[in-house]
Amino acid sequence: MTAIQEHSLILVVDDTYTNLEIISEVLKRSGFAVATAHDGISALEKIEFIYPDLILLDVMMPGIDGFETCKRLKANTRTSDIPIMFMTGVSDTDSKVHALELGAVDYIIKPFQEEEVLARLKTHLQLRHLTKNLETQVAERTAALTQALRELQESQIQLVQREKMSALGNLVAGVAHEINNPMGFIVGNLQPAKEHIQELFRVLDLYQKYYPQPVPELQQEISNIDLDYIRADLPNLITSMREGVSRICDITNSLRTFARADSDRKLECNIHDCIDSTLVILKHRLKGNSYRYDIQIVRDYGQLPLLQCYPGQLNQVFMNLFANAIDAIEELVETNHHHSLTTHISPTIWIRTSFNPDHTGIAIQIKDNGMGMSEEVHQKAFDYLFTTKPVGKGTGLGLSIARQIIVENHGGLLKASSQIGVGTEFVIEIPFG
């Protein structure tokens, strides 16, 4: 007895009791398990409770014949792959062709030889066994290839992320360093310059006190340069330069924060610093143009503890989300302008942070009133290489990388909700600790 015979169940369907007994006895002696049914209806009912490995099916039966029974079995997804061998005393070619067209694997003519029936039956069971093994191997191989593809995509995302952040970090850190050198010189000389100007003014005051009537040429020059205006405006110029220098210092500090290098371990980070430094870098994109007003940033910051994280990676997530929000706002404004719509929106990005002690995590919500996403785009938004932007404008990696950073690297969640013409909201949840 082979292993296939030991585990094979044969369903015999015949309306003649003698035939059922004879065939069942032959099959049992050969090591098969046997179930029987006396007509097509009872066979269909029985098959709801058992799952035979092969069916021996008589053609001529009362009620529904073997052809109709076969048709129904093949129409049922649960039983469609079970091999069916017809048994009949009719040997015309049309009947054989019809049986094979219905999906039968073989056709046995009564009266049949025991050895022939067993040989054919074993052959079809062996073929089914091989087919099922092949299907299993194909499924396993497909699953393995799918997993390998997913791992390859994730490794590609990580590689792109590391290379991008490394290059950007080095560039930004280098720029910040180069700016800081001359800025240090300017900052260090503004106060002495102010003091020197004040000293010069005191000298001028003394000259005007003791020589109130200068020679005509000097009087003309004083009039030409409008000395009184210079005396009033020069301190304001110094103050403006001081404010400009302070602004540049803020920018370089933000650049250093944004380009902060990550080590193999997480660092303590103030999430609000990450958000603000990213917005400083994107400030030029927030300014208005001929089509729209400035994009307003509305902050609703909660009290957040310092978070153990990879700050450089989170900066990249914020950069992607804010850049997408700006793109969506500009797309909506341009669409309205193209269709000559007179409705005006106040372009806005809302940022809300909160800490949930019960769930020991922080939440960051970034919402815009831009173009929004269709349901189809929404479903694919985080897919690898998916982008709605034209060639050269987007890689399709931004949100894929963002999700990997939040989910894989920080054990958090990144969710999105959107509505066309209303806007999009991203929610980041990062566990604390």
Confidence of residue 161 (pLDDT cuts 50, 70, 90): low
139: phi then psi, degrees, rounded to nearest 5: -65, -45
**2 pLDDT above the threshold of 60:** no
pTM, two decimals, is 0.49
Look at residue 278 in the predicted model and tell me its pLDDT. Answer: 85
Asked if pLDDT for residue 139 goes beyond 90, the answer is no
The pLDDT assigned to 267 comes to 84
Q: CA–CA separation, 184 vs 249, rounded Å?
A: 9
Say yes or no to pLDDT of 392 above 50: no
60-99 pLDDT per residue, tens:
888 888 888 888 888 888 888 888 888 877 666 777 777 7
Give the residue among 280, 312, 271, 328 at the shortest CA–CA distance from 401: 312
- pLDDT at 368 (0 to 100): 93
pLDDT at 394: 46
- Condensed to tens digits (0 to 9), the pLDDT of residues 353-375 reads 999 867 678 999 999 998 888 88
Q: How many CB atoms lie within 10 A of CB 237?
A: 12
May I ask the CATH architecture of the domain 263-433?
2-Layer Sandwich (3.30)
Whether the pLDDT of residue 285 is over 70: the answer is yes
Residue 418 CA, distance from chain mean position:
15
What pLDDT, on the 0 to 100 scale, is given for residue 298? 95
Q: Domain ranges in the chain? A: 3-112, 148-259, 263-433
Residue 288 in this model has a pLDDT that exceeds 90: no
CATH topology of domain 3-112: Rossmann fold (3.40.50)
Q: How far is CA 188 from CA 129, 180, 191, 395, in A?
A: 86, 12, 7, 44
The alpha carbon of 39 is separated from its chain's Cα centroid by a whole number of angstroms, namely: 55
**Overall average pLDDT of the 206-211 stretch:** 86
| Average pLDDT of every residue of the chain | 80
